[in-house]
Amino acid sequence: GEDVEQSLFLSVREGDSSVINCTYTDSSSTYLYWYKQEPGAGLQLLTYIFSNMDMKQDQRLTVLLNKKDKHLSLRIADTQTGDSAIYFCADPSGGGYNKLIFGAGTRLAVHP
């Protein structure tokens, strides 16, 4: 079945760049998504990328997509303590099945 995999933890120093990686199995998706979950809250859409694009930049965020390897990454430049959260990549599954499959989430810890 469809699967989305992420590493569980990432620790970075404030001001450094963070790179969160994700691999997925369903290559038919039109869009791939990144969601952010702050402590005690629900998920919020952070950004997304169209499957025909290799890269999308949005202020401090850069999304890279390698369709051949089914690899998605999220780069956060100049990481701040406010970026500490869990980041989920999400893949719509199975085309037409109307559901979003999430990875396990990567917990990003930003330290001084």
* Site for other proteins, rule CB under 8 A: 4, 6, 8, 28-31, 33, 35, 40-45, 48, 50, 88, 92-93, 95-105
**Cβ 112 to other proteins shortest distance, Å:** 26
Which of residues 8 and 77 has its CB atom nearest to other proteins in the complex?
8
Angle at 43 between CA 45 and CA 100, to 5 degrees: 70
Question: In whole angstroms, what separates CA 102 from the centre of its chain?
Answer: 10
**Cβ 23 to other proteins shortest distance, Å:** 14
**Cβ 93 to other proteins shortest distance, Å:** 8
CA dihedral 21, 36, 96, 31 (to 10 degrees): -60
Nearest to 75 by CA among 60, 96, 85: 60
Query: Distance between CA atoms of 43 and 41, rounded to whole angstroms?
Result: 7
Which of residues 3 and 14 has its CB atom nearest to other proteins in the complex?
3
Which of residues 59 and 98 has its CB atom nearest to other proteins in the complex?
98
Which of residues 29 and 79 has its CB atom nearest to other proteins in the complex?
29
